[in-house]
C-alpha cells in the first residue's frame, strides 16, 4: 500500500478540530444542523428560530447543491451564502457549506468557517488538493460506495496539502434495500474511532433518507463512538425544495436535540 499517514499508526493522538467558537473531537461533542439547501429569507428565519431555542454548534446549509437531475433546484449560489452567513451570525455559530467545484472555492471561503466535501465529490482529487491548500476545517463526507481505504486516501489528499483540520463524515452507503435511501455504516464509525485520529460525525439524514429513523440512528452513532452528528432541519419540511422527507421539523428537532445531548453526556462527552 502507498504511504498513508492519516491512521493512528502515524498520528496516535486524537486531533480536535476548532471551528470558531466550536470544537469537536478528543472528547468534545458537536451537533451540526441546518437545511439541505438555503431557499428563502423566510425559511432561514424559521431555521434561526429553531436553533435559537436548541443550539447547535454549527449551521449547515447548501448554496451549491450537487443534484442528481440537472433540472432539480441547484441552490442559490452567492445569494444563498449571504443568507446562510446572516443566519449564523444571528445565532453566533459558525457556518458549514459545501463546495462542489474548485472555481467556487474562493467565493465559498469568503462566507464559510468550514468547507464540506460532499459524497459525490469525495474522489474529486483536484478539489481535495484545493481544500488541502487552505486552512479552514474540512468536513469530508464518505462516498456512497467508497471503501474505508478510499475514504482514508481522500483524507490523505487533504493532509498532503497541509491541512489537518479534517472531520470525517459517515453519511450512509448504498444497499440493495429501497426501504432506505442509504444505510448508516456503524462498522465504519467504530473502525475510524479505533484507527484514525480525526473526529467522526454521522449524518443520519442522508444515511437513512427517513425522518423517523434520524433519532434512533443518532443514538446508535453516539453509542458507536461518533464525536458529532449532522442533521437536516426545515421549518416546514413538506415545502422543502430538497430532502424534505429526511428533514426534522421544529418539534422533532427539539426532541432529537435533547435525546442526543442526554446520551452524549451519559457517554462522558463534553457538550
Ligand atoms: C448534503 O449534506 O447536503 C449532501 C448533499 O450530502 P451527501 O453529499 O452526503 O449526499
Ligand atoms: Mn440533503
* pLDDT tens per residue, range 215-262: 999 999 999 999 999 999 999 999 999 999 999 999 999 999 999 999
Q: Give pLDDT < 50 ranges for the chain.
A: none
Residues 6+ apart with CB under 8 A from 175: 182, 183
Residue with cell 464559510: 112
Q: What is the pLDDT of residue 55?
A: 97
**How confident is the model at residue 204, as a pLDDT?**
98
First to last CA, the chain: 38
Nearest CA residue ID for atom 5, ligand 1: 118
Which pLDDT score, from 0 to 100, does residue 2 have? 82
How many CA atoms are closer than 13 Å to the CA of 72, on its beta-carbon side?
A: 11
Q: Which atom number of ligand 1 is nearest to the Cα of residue 116?
A: 2
Burial of residue 38, with CB atoms counted within 10 A of its CB: 0-12 exposed, 13-18 middle, 19 or more buried:
buried
Pocket of ligand 1 (CB under 6 A): 36, 62, 66, 98, 118-120, 141, 171, 206
Burial of 179 per CB tally in 10 Å (0-12, 13-18, 19+): exposed
d(Cα 168, Cα 189) in Å, to the nearest integer?
Answer: 9
Radius of gyration of the chain measured on its C-alpha atoms: 17
Q: Which three cell numbers stand for residue 19?
A: 471551528
Identify the residue whose C-alpha is closest to ligand 1 atom 10. 119
Tell me the CA–centroid distance for residue 206 and ligand 2, in Å. 6
Q: Residue 174: what pLDDT?
A: 98
Specify the pLDDT at position 1: 60
Place of cell 439547501: 37
| Ligand 2 centroid – CA 232 distance (Å) | 7
Strand partners, 201: 169, 228
At 54 the three-state DSSP class reads coil
Query: What is the whole-number distance in angstroms between the Cα of residue 8 and the centre of ligand 1?
Result: 27
Amino acid at each position: 500500500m502507498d504511504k498513508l499517514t492519516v491512521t493512528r499508526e502515524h498520528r496516535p493522538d486524537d486531533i480536535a478540530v476548532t471551528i470558531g467558537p466550536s470544537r469537536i473531537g478528543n472528547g468534545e461533542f458537536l451537533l451540526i444542523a441546518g437545511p439541505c439547501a438555503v431557499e428563502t429569507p423566510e425559511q432561514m428565519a424559521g431555521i434561526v428560530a429553531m436553533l435559537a431555542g436548541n443550539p447547535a454548534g454549527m449551521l449547515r446549509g447548501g448554496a451549491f447543491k450537487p443534484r442528481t437531475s440537472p433540472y432539480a433546484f441547484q441552490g442559490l449560489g452567492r445569494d444563498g451564502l449571504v443568507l446562510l452567513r446572516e443566519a449564523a451570525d444571528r445565532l453566533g455559530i459558525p457556518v458549514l457549506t459545501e463546495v462542489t467545484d474548485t472555481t467556487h472555492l474562493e467565493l465559498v471561503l469568503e462566507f464559510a468557517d468550514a468547507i464540506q466535501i460532499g459524497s459525490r465529490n469525495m474522489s474529486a482529487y483536484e478539489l481535495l488538493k484545493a481544500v488541502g491548500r487552505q486552512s479552514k476545517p474540512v468536513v469530508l463526507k464518505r462516498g456512497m460506495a467508497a471503501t474505508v481505504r478510499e475514504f482514508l486516501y481522500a483524507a490523505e489528499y487533504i493532509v498532503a496539502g497541509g491541512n489537518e483540520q479534517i472531520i470525517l463524515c459517515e453519511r450512509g452507503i448504498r444497499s440493495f434495500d429501497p426501504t432506505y435511501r442509504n444505510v448508516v455504516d456503524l462498522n465504519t464509525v467504530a473502525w475510524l474511532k479505533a484507527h484514525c485520529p480525526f473526529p467522526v460525525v454521522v449524518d443520519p439524514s442522508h444515511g437513512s433518507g427517513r425522518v423517523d429513523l434520524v433519532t434512533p440512528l443518532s443514538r446508535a452513532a453516539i453509542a458507536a463512538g461518533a464525536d458529532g452528528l449532522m442533521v437536516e432541519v426545515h421549518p416546514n419540511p413538506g415545502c422543502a425544495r430538497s430532502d424534505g422527507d429526511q428533514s426534522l421539523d421544529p418539534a422533532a428537532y427539539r426532541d432529537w436535540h435533547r435525546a442526543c445531548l442526554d446520551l452524549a453526556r451519559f457517554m462522558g462527552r463534553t457538550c
